[in-house]
Amino acid sequence: MPLDVHVIPCLEDNYAYLIRCSKTGRTAIVDTPDAQTILEEAEKIGWPIDEIWNTHHHWDHAGGNDAIRAKTAARVVAARAETHKIGHVDTPVGHGDRVRLGEMEAEVLDVGGHTSGHIAFYFPQADTVFTGDALFNLGCGRMFEGDARQFLASLQRIKHLPGDTSIYCGHEYTLKNGEFALTVDPDNALLRTYVENAREKRAQDKPTVPSTVNAERGANPFLRPEDEHIRRELGMEDASDVEVFAELRKRKDAF
């Protein structure tokens, strides 16, 4: 694959991702939950950190920026809409912009909802997307700054990427998300298999990332508010997709 991805568990349940253009060796870190852990891991595997790419402004995704910059002089790529919250940003970007990493190019996707300016980085050449806290395995982020209409539209952008696209999200929430998903979609065989596979991985202390767009299309309730089985379980057969999504998020918040 032309894009190398190294998963770095950070803090209690965060993930940061060292990504490298395999042809040029140009390297970026996607999100910076814990600067020390990231710097130690980069040194261990021998990858320099040339750039920092932030999906959103929360401290557990951008809080390590300054310490990593001080050590590496890495340039920061982040959402134009969140530069005032992130701080130093060399390359502000928005939906539809493209950013290069060596010979690789990522498309910036607006996935606002968790935060209003949240972005994702999609590499078509590598069939890979980094979704931060917008889309999780079997779940989505809390709706801190956006509204249900905005957030659902954001998730639909990810849902409509090619099915074999690998999804790297910001947290290891899969089992808890799976427990909730089964309460609103209990008869989904794809979901049950997904959860069992995730349990096996976590029992071996392995990450459940990456997922794929196809896997989330079939099992993640937040991508399927139109599903008749979910609607029946919620008692919302005649509701709009936005209303169903909002109810799912409300129930997950209280789960």
Kindly state the average pLDDT of the residues 10-25. 97
Q: Is 229 annotated as a binding residue?
A: no
Range(s) of the domain holding residue 109: 3-253
**210 alpha-carbon distance from chain centroid:** 10
**SS3 (DSSP) at 200:** helix
Here the CATH number for the domain that contains residue 65 is 3.60.15.10
Kindly state the average pLDDT of the residues 178-193. 98
Say yes or no to pLDDT of 175 above 80: yes
The chain-wide mean pLDDT, for the chain, equals 97
Say yes or no to pLDDT of 158 above 60: yes
The residues annotated with a catalytic role in the active site are 56, 58, 60-61, 114, 133, 171
Q: Is 171 annotated as a binding residue?
A: yes
Pairing of strands 139-140, 135-136: antiparallel
One-letter identity of residue 196: E
**What is the structure's pLDDT at 1?**
56
Range 110-142 burial, b when 16+ CB lie within 10 A, else e: bbbbbbbbbbbbbbeebbbbbbbbbbbbbbbbe
Kindly state the average pLDDT of the residues 192-213. 98
| Number of domains forming the structure of the chain | 1
Tens-place pLDDT, residues 77-112: 999 999 999 999 999 999 999 999 999 999 999 999
Side by side, the strands of the sheet bearing 14-21 are: 3-10, 14-21, 27-30, 51-53, 75-79, 91-93
**What is the structure's pLDDT at 24?**
96
Pairing of strands 75-79, 139-140: unpaired
Q: Is 84 annotated as a binding residue?
A: no
The whole-angstrom separation of Cα 19 and Cα 241 is 35
Tens-place pLDDT, residues 112-137: 999 999 999 999 999 999 999 999 99
CA-closest candidate to residue 166, choices 142, 194, 190, 131: 131
Q: Is 160 annotated as a binding residue?
A: no
